[in-house]
A and B are shown apart, each in its own frame.
Chain A
Amino acid sequence: MKTIAEIESIRKEKREELDLRVNLKSNAVEKHILVCRGTGCTSSKSPKIIENFRRIIEEKGIKNVRVVQTGCFGLCAKGPIVIIRPEETFYAHVTPEDCEEIIQSHICEGKKVERLLCKDVNGEIVKKLDDLNFYKKQKRIALKNCGVIDPEQIDEYIAFDGYKALEKVLTSMKPDEVIDVISKSGLRGRGGAGFPTGKKWSFAKNEKSDQKYVICNADEGDPGAFMDRSILEGDPNCVLEAMAIAGYAIGANQGYIYVRAEYPIAVDRLKIAINQAREYGLLGKNIFNSGFDFDIDIRLGAGAFVCGEETALLESIEGKRGQPRVKPPYPASQGLFGKPTIINNVETLANVTKIILNGADWFASIGTENSKGTKVFALGGNVNNVGLVEVPMGTTLREIVFDIGGGIPNGRKFKAAQTGGPSGGCIPAEHLDTPIDYESLSSIGSMMGSGGLIVMDDSKCMVDIARFYLDFTVSESCGKCTPCRIGTKRMLEILTRMCEGKGEADDLYKLELLANSIKKSAICGLGQTAPNPVLSTMKYFKDEYIEHVSYNMCRAGQCKELCEITIDPQKCKGCGLCKRNCPVHAISGEPKQVHKIDQDLCIKCGTCVDKCPFKAISK
């Protein structure tokens, strides 16, 4: 248990020690080798890299160099990433075998290892982190500490103003004042629907009850989205601190974090953070001697997308099947175990501490009129810089995809961007200049969602994409209400037959009718938004639907039943590259003779199309 003065002295001491992490001009004699330990880099062997660095440093007896594991730097496409501070040297695609060279050349001899330096989209070497276009337009609030601190050391979090907001709240603010600041800041829920956070808190505060709960929704089920995971992996303490602040504001003493069991690293870091916070007395009884008690427990999900819906999540924490409840009553009056409860998303909470410290006006000055602050997106799919980006609200899609994301690889064209996952829609090129905020996205048929942003190039079939999302919703529908359980299944059947070339004339009409009825009649958010991917693709890519139904044609060549892969005899030189690479041996032909594809064997994987050096093969 530490007093305010003791925490303050840890903060001062550590801040000085870690100054070189954020201060480029630092004169520190020490060097810190930061290695990303987010899920992406971890799966490409970053733990081994850390181990090697530490071993080599010890063997060589090098002083003043520290190897630090951090959360996600954001640029996952370049992983595993190693950054050396204070000079901010950015090494990309590092392997465990490269460690020796980096230590010898960079640390011992002061020469950067040229071949490992990160290159931008144009192939130019990036000297420093900030030189990368990827970072220039970003503004990091929620991700402030990700990639800077070691998430398993609470002292490092404290060094960068950690637990200062909680101290401020407990020593100098009344619960109503806290809610007032959050309301004035304009913070809205980052989980998808965008409900004003301050309002949610005040509803729960006004309920009279002997017991209330604060829940952090970390059930990030949206495929292709990993914002919340990265925050939990890179800066778990900021979520704990915000939950304690929320607890103080509404009068709750117990918090739960509902996190996916599929995120083992995030779960481990949370456990470590909770234990360290308890040890320091930042969680538990009588925090900062203020008389306020607050503790947090972790509850694991078990793989059900619908549990991201707040009432389904409550059922799941109670140990039941995760089926949504009928609202009202809302969780703010009858939530977990029937008690008043607030449920906030990870990213929402990650903003809270910064708002308390910097003030509501500061936060409200960022973003657009009705959407304040920043939004974190998981940028993925057919884009050069796959990774995690945080931009002010109001940034356009074009800036994200082309400036930050570095455009579309392989010389292909932008076709659509999908936001909001299975609940969102596809945004076509004509809306690339729409400033992103809650209202503008829903006005063009999509939604903010939790922040997955998948870019698609012109090789994607939009009917197939709609089918993919419906397939997801059908398998994730909980089965409680009929429109979602049966309606989405019927929609999937229609889409599947379109993709197989068996579409019927009135299918388009049926699809639209079904979609609109499900939207109106399903009981929870999952069902109500399930038709969105279909409706938005039907709106912007209607031609493709008509082609599938009326002409048995798929212009992108994705629907296997509707396309054939053929070799142009004029262009084929008989090099045999396609034959050697075909996984099912469907291609035959003698060297220097025109090759042929056996259509019965061909699985249309497209490997030969990519491999042919003469562009003789096409879908």
Chain B
Amino acid sequence: MEQKCVCDKIKKEMKKILEKYPKEKDRLIAILNDVQERFGYIPKQAQLEISDYLSIPMAEIYGVITFYSRFTLAPKGKYNISVCLGTACFVKGAKSLLDRAQEKLKIKPGEVTPDGKFSIDDVRCVGACGLAPVFMVNDEVYGNATVKKLDEVIDKYASEE
């Protein structure tokens, strides 16, 4: 019953999103970007709706979703920690930030903690090279980062409800 509830909600939201676009196949990526932003991932129900709307087979949509790193098939944690691994950050020690985040939260990049609170991403260049090394928690940027600062930030969010 609950499952159906979620599906209905997604259907309703999808209607709103799809209305904005003409029924042209080249709009697929734009629509997926919208869906990803709205739900934080691309639910199967949404893929079905898009498939109907644009007349593109599900398999093809799945192929596009898995090709682009921005699209995900499962939701991220409440606090998504993205460690920048662009070159500027890398030469300033970003790898040790990523190692530390993995060690502390006991998950790998792309995974979510069992309580759904944290997830880790390794991203390529968030564009704040002047502040390297950089990590982000959701949209908040932490520049000139150190392992210690990362620890503090994770602890802060972990203690929050």
Contact = CB atoms under 8 A, between A and B. Distances in A.
A426 to B, nearest CB: 11
Describe A's contact surface by its main secondary structure: loop
B96 interface: yes
B52 interface: no
Contacts of B91: 381-382, 454, 456, 460, 465
Contacts of A301: 29, 68
A609 to B, nearest CB: 11
Describe B's contact surface by its main secondary structure: helix
A421 B64 contact: no
Interface string B67-107: 11111000000000000011111111100100110010000
B15 to A, nearest CB: 20
Contacts, number: 142
Interface string A279-313: 00000000000000000000111111100000000
A605 B86 contact: no
Given A302-B32, A321-B64, A262 B126 contact: yes
A348 interface: no
A305 B93 CA distance: 22
A387 interface: yes
A418 B70 contact: no
A577 interface: no
Nearest to A472: B124
Nearest to B54: A319
A262 B87 contact: no
Nearest to B31: A319
Contacts of A418: 87
Interface in A562-619: 581, 583-584, 603-607
Pick from A39, A224, A305, A318 the residue with the most CB of B within 10 Å.
Answer: A224
Given A300-B30, A387-B130, A319 B64 contact: yes
A37 interface: no
A511 B114 CA distance: 41
B63 A321 contact: yes
Interface in A346-390: 378, 380-382, 386-387
A166 interface: no
A303 B147 CA distance: 27
Given A224-B87, A302-B70, A303-B70, A381 B30 contact: no
A421 B103 CA distance: 29
A381 B90 CA distance: 8
Contacts of B92: 381-382
Contacts of A71: none
A302 B61 CA distance: 14
Nearest to A256: B26
Given A43-B128, A380-B129, A304 B28 contact: no
Contacts of B33: 261, 300, 302
Given A44-B131, A224-B86, A460-B91, A607 B147 contact: yes
Given A223-B85, A261-B70, A319-B29, A583 B127 contact: no
Contacts of A189: none
Given A317-B26, A468-B90, A583-B100, A226 B129 contact: yes
Contacts of B43: none
Interface of A: 39-40, 43-44, 76-77, 79, 221-226, 229, 261-263, 299-305, 316-322, 378, 380-382, 386-387, 418, 421, 452, 454, 456, 460, 465, 468, 472, 478, 581, 583-584, 603-607
20 contacts: A39-B126, A40-B131, A43-B126, A76-B130, A226-B129, A302-B70, A316-B29, A319-B28, A319-B64, A322-B68, A381-B88, A381-B92, A382-B92, A386-B129, A421-B87, A452-B87, A468-B87, A603-B96, A605-B147, A607-B147
